[in-house]
Structure 1
């Protein structure tokens, strides 16, 4: 099978999972690959829009399309369902990416002031409300605000109480004033209630706070203040945004978690952004071994474009270079970690001289195949400690299939669904482009690292004297049952075809 078609099939299969599930775990001893799978999803955030009449129809909550129908239950014990209310939604992901809600529960309601000329009851105070700040004037604080979907006018005589925190989008405020003829509140006082951090009790959830995780795709041309692109979303960083770089620098390709509130355009106004580790591109998608053919000429030292085997590698001032094992000269064997660019160039994160090709920490000499009869899943591991744990637990049984690892030219990416975010299954690929695509496109899959080394297939073919490793996909009717199998023997190949699995082609090569 053509390798490009193989990649298309595999990516399509993973895409199905990301539509059904809400980006390092070993196989668990209890028989699961990490937990009970689930297609139920839960989101929390501010109601940004809702049906014009009634509660049945299309909603927008925390940037997510939500649909309600006659089976949806509504819990308004804590307040009224209205634009600006903070809610918790439970439901099922739909093929179009929306969430079909089974229940919407109000966490913090919006106090809607009565219109002009109406008489409120004992619980109604004209011109008073509590809710999140959705928008502020473009400059300064005087002018028109949106608080929980209500227009609020701030004038020079409005008292602004910021004792509990600053006035920012997403902060919960109490507004007092009088409604004008249009229904807008002319504020006499606005008091900040919460801005996301409590006292000794620690973090307090802020209604309207949104959290996204993904790879940094673009940064401002100068400095870090400005508009970023993270996981396909615009993230706006200001001077008050807290930037936590404890786990690494903010660079394109880094994996981050951003928290804040959405503005009217859907961009995230970031309150905090931190580098994350172990769940995506904190470890580069590409890891390979090769021989240095050319180094940069002139007086630039090692910064510039290298040629390693037939690959062009761009080395920058931020590239970490380790020459502990051997001198770095033309002809040296090196291990390279980095990101494959769209033009085929490799952006290097780390380069280390090596005396052995294909050596990875925690890697044994063989990838051992196991089968779990309860799950109906196949699984491979080249980690001796993990293999021993599976043998001892007894939930997973060896199939007798295995292949040699440890002398290949590339690291094999290992992903896990990690329920409830994704499926209770693992996925492996030796193709750096496929690995990077899964990292950046499918948040249902968590990158666990490079599991072992193997040689990638070239156009679906392996070099003479090596074994072809075939990948199969079980193509289930439910995403919870997703699984892949890797075979090297004719017997296993024919057995898997007879089970009705989809052959995705030769994906890597192993020594006999």
Structure 2
């Protein structure tokens, strides 16, 4: 077995299976509070919430579900699914008191609860904290002492018909029917759901990498990043008074040879005289749709990198900051630089926005 990616959101593992040496790639797709959407009725408990309080602790008439979408994580060249499991971490499932929380799998979100019972694939019951205990670090003001110890974990092996739906559609909907057979006040809180899918697929191809060069301008108080040697030479030759070369920021890719890679989009703002980069396609589309070109001009793909959750084990995070003071973004792989900014600048100067993407160290 060869691990080729380690991540909380997605893990890829290569296995040599069987006499024929068939390869498989396993991906992990995690859903938690970060995926909550009140319109879609998703209620993964948020950090710091009181575990036995609404809206996250829900009763028999407050059933809900979530969609695991792995469309963008299917390995290139995949020919099918070998196996799949879903693992649900939940809180205070009182099985001994008669609580029965039934989990269903469906190809799409149903229009009505009756559709779930009629057409859903019943996976089984959530396990209680005595039968399948697990540990989740939890702290919240007002929480009853000891309640933080009532976590449990349940793993369901998906049957063939659910796997077929997942392969055909690239997604699968899961629904929990809370306390299905009674209305005596039993409730359930769900922390996360992890879908693990093993595909028949070849090993990801090692991608060609290229240097991402970094410049700083004291004139515009902004940084500029490019893989274009001609752009680099132009700045060095003609704009040395405005742009200071700071070296190689990190190594990225020139294409998506590796199926886990994604384009990093580049924008230029004549309004604030700065560039903006994002790997988030939804963010890119929002900027294009909501800002005219005299505010943000889309310049195309700058390079390719790995989205959070799809990174190989030998890559490092690139951190993103936003400055409301100078209206510019800043990106760095240097943890010391990141920590210095966080420690020495307030959020109205530099706001830390998390990991932008993953790339290779210089």
TM-score (norm 1): 0.29
TM-score (norm 2): 0.40
The structure, 1 or 2, with the larger RCO (C-alpha pairs under 8 Å, 6+ apart) is 2
Greater fraction helix: 2
Larger Rg over CA atoms: 1
